[in-house]
Structure formats: structure tokens, C-alpha cells
Amino acid sequence: MTEEPGRRERKKAATRRHIADTAREMFLERGFDAVGIREIAAAADVAVTTLFSHFPSKEALAFDEGQKREDRLVQAVTGRGAEQTIPDALREHFRAVVEDFARPAAVTFWRLVDDSPALREYASTMWQRHEDALTTVIAADLGLPKSSTTCRAFSHYVLGVYPLAREAPDPMAAVDEIFDLITPGWIEIDVSGFHGAARTGPEPYHGAESS
């Protein structure tokens, strides 16, 4: 599956990387809104249609690692230690994310985002998608239906750390504050399983899906 990619796929990946790099440079230099798609395509020496065959939108050019971010989030839940609860795993994950946000490259990137309404909105819809992914993986882990209100509420609450951690004066403290509010008392009200450790063999939910 992940064998030698072959020349074709290597070239494709190279084109993709070249477009993204060119765009990022231009964005950082002149701002997201001040750079047009046609300009980027010209600068990268590709056709506009080629650009859109690699990226679904202009915003996706700037936010390239979005999928990786989501994968890491899901991984934090599925790949947690056998003795670790879901909230603890997520706290650990977000502490790492916050450290990542502090990197100089990340700082300049997020400044770029803050300067563009289009990018800000794209970011918040990205958190939304992450929320869906987190709900799915937690529900699967606990053997609950994806539509479980508690699962959704929990994921929604947790994903709130993204914007908070970016805007708080002390992001790491904000993360801890958020997770400290998830007391056993809160969670145990409805889903005692949340504080259980990782399952060895998850029992998938087989409830009703549609009428």
C-alpha cells in the first residue's frame, strides 16, 4: 500500500508541495486576501485548474496540515495508554498542541490567520470537523452511538480549547483550566465509561440507526 510511490506520484506530490510553498510565501509576504488564485498559479507556474485539483479551496492552501492535525487528535484517543482515561489523554494531547502553537513558524502562521476573515472562518469550520471526528472515535471507543448527546457535548466542550488556547494569555494554563473542569463528578453523571481506561477489544454499538 505504502510502497515505492513511483515517479508519477512523486511528481504529483512535488507539484503539490511546490504550489503550497509558493502560496505560503506569497501569503506571508502580502497577506492572504491580497494574493489572488491566478497570481499563485502563475507564480507556481501551473494552471489554475491544476491548483484546484490539488487543493479544494484557496484557504486549504494556507491550512495544509489540517488533516494531520485531525489524525493526531484521533490518535490521541485511540492510541492512549492502557491505564489512561480519555480526558487525560486529550489533556496531554492539547498540552502538546499548545507547545506546537508556540513555535515561531506557528506564531507567524496564526498571525496570518487572524488577519484574514476568510481564514478565521475556515479555521473555525475546521474545529467543527475535528469535533465530528472526535465524537466518532470516542463513541466507537465507548461503544455508544455516534449520535450520543453526551459524546457530542463532551467533544464539543473539549474542542473549545483550540480557539481558547490560541487567544488566552497563558495557553497552557487555559488548557489545564478547561480539563480541570471535567471532574469525575461531571462525567460520571452520564457516562461512567469516560473515566475508564483504553479498551483492549472495543464492543461496537449495534443500536438503531434509522427508523
Partner DNA sequence: TGTGAAAAGCTAACCGTTAGCGTTATGGTT
Partner DNA sequence: AACCATAACGCTAACGGTTAGCTTTTCACA
- Positions touching a copy of itself (CB under 8 A) are 121, 124-125, 128, 147, 149-150, 152-153, 156-157, 160, 164, 167-169, 173-174, 177-178, 180-181, 183, 185-186, 189-190
Of 16 and 120, CB closest to a copy of itself: 120
Least gap, CB of 121 to a copy of itself (angstroms): 6
Binding segment (CB under 7 A) for DNA, from list 39-47, 68-76, 86-94, 140-148 = 39-47
**Binds DNA by CB under 7 A, chosen from 1, 2, 7, 82:** 7
Nearest to 112 by CA among 162, 62, 70: 62
Cβ contact 22:38 at 8 Å: no
Q: Which residue has the cell 510565501?
A: 25
Least gap, CB of 48 to a copy of itself (angstroms): 22
Cβ contact 165:175 at 8 Å: yes
Cβ contact 51:41 at 8 Å: yes
Of 34 and 189, CB closest to a copy of itself: 189
d(CA 1, CA 69): 22
d(CA 81, CA 125): 30
Binding segment (CB under 7 A) for DNA, from list 52-60, 91-99, 164-172, 191-199 = 52-60
Interface with DNA: number of residues (CB under 7 A)? 25
DSSP per-residue codes, 131-167: HHHHHHHHHHHHT--TT-HHHHHHHHHHHTHHHHHHH
**Binds DNA by CB under 7 A, chosen from 24, 25, 43, 54:** 54
d(CA 121, CA 157): 19
Of 22 and 135, CB closest to a copy of itself: 135
Which partner in a copy of itself, DNA, none is near 96 (CB below 5 to 8 A by kind)? none
C-alpha distance from residue 159 to each of 43, 94, 112 (Å): 37, 10, 22
Least gap, CB of 46 to DNA (angstroms): 3
Which residues lie near DNA (CB under 7 A)? 6-9, 11-12, 15, 33, 35-38, 45-50, 52-54, 56-59
